Amino acid sequence: MRPAVIAHRGASFDYPEHTYDAYVAAIQDGADGFECDVRLTADDVLVCWHDSDLARTSDGVGTISKMTWAELSGVDAGTWHRSGRTAKPLLFTDLLELALESGKTLSIETKHPVKSGGRIEHMLADLLAPHLPLVPIAPAAAQFRMMSFSKLAVMRWRKLVPSVPAVSLIERTYSFKGGGPVLGPGIHLIRKDPSLVARIHAEGREVHVWTVDEREDIELCLELGVDAIITNKPAAVVAVIGG
């Protein structure tokens, strides 16, 4: 079975990341699911945004956690991108609605450390609650997944929402032990040690690899039998692995 293709912040090579158009493009590109980062504004609104501040991906200035949604919604989150497209910041609830309407999976990364601490997982759980299964299901069958580099956040989520699989993101092999039913190693780890995939599978866990954009890396993931490829270029991945 071919790996799932997960659009990293949407089709973010061609469109500004974390914008509505980027996720619509991911659907058109044949992605199986979406990936997003979430942060809380000062007035506790969950938004799709990677960095802690606005500098890299908008025309604004400020820190997400110190801004209200009304303030954040006024910035241009698009023209920084080489495409030159204007775009508005994206509410998580709008992305959730798009995922539900399109039937796409949604992998949601909570960012840490943040001043709100574990409140972000609690708010995410509340928003997902009406759409969740009553009992835990296999990661491959789940529409939603929580992701984090924070072991504490993953542990918190597994207690809070056991029906939604947690993905333990890893940058270094020494952080391989523990975590949820899915491990998310960076492609740099897979290049360095391809046997990592088989070792994770031997523990009965899935392997979701980030961020895979180059053809040789796509082919390596396909050869090793990873379960999901997280990519900025969903169309390119689909072209290699098939629809």
Domain ranges, residue 147: 4-38+106-241
| Position 151 pLDDT exceeds 80 | yes
Measured between alpha carbons, how far is 224 from 168 in angstroms, rounded to an integer? Answer: 19
CB 37 within 8 A of CB 118: no
Amino acid in the structure at residue 156 = R
71 domain residue, yes or no: no
To the question of pTM greater than 0.85 for the whole model, the response is yes
Whether residue 133 is contained in a domain is answered as yes
Q: Is 73 inside a domain boundary?
A: no
Answer yes or no: is 151 within a domain: yes
pLDDT averaged over the chain? 95
Q: With 90 as the cut, is the pLDDT of residue 5 above it?
A: yes
For the annotated catalytic residues, the residue numbers are: 8, 50
CATH number of the domain bearing residue 125 = 3.20.20.190
Q: Return the minimum-mean-pLDDT range out of 159-173, 202-216, 219-233.
A: 159-173
Distance CA 91, CA 45 (A): 8
Q: Could you tell me how far CA 66 lies from the centroid of its own chain? A: 23
116 band by pLDDT with thresholds 50, 70 and 90: confident
Banded model confidence at residue 175, pLDDT cuts 50, 70, 90: low
- Residue 32 domain flag: yes
Over range 184-206, report the average pLDDT: 96
Whether the Cβ atoms of residue 45 and residue 127 lie closer than 8 Å to each other: no
Number of domains the chain contains: 1
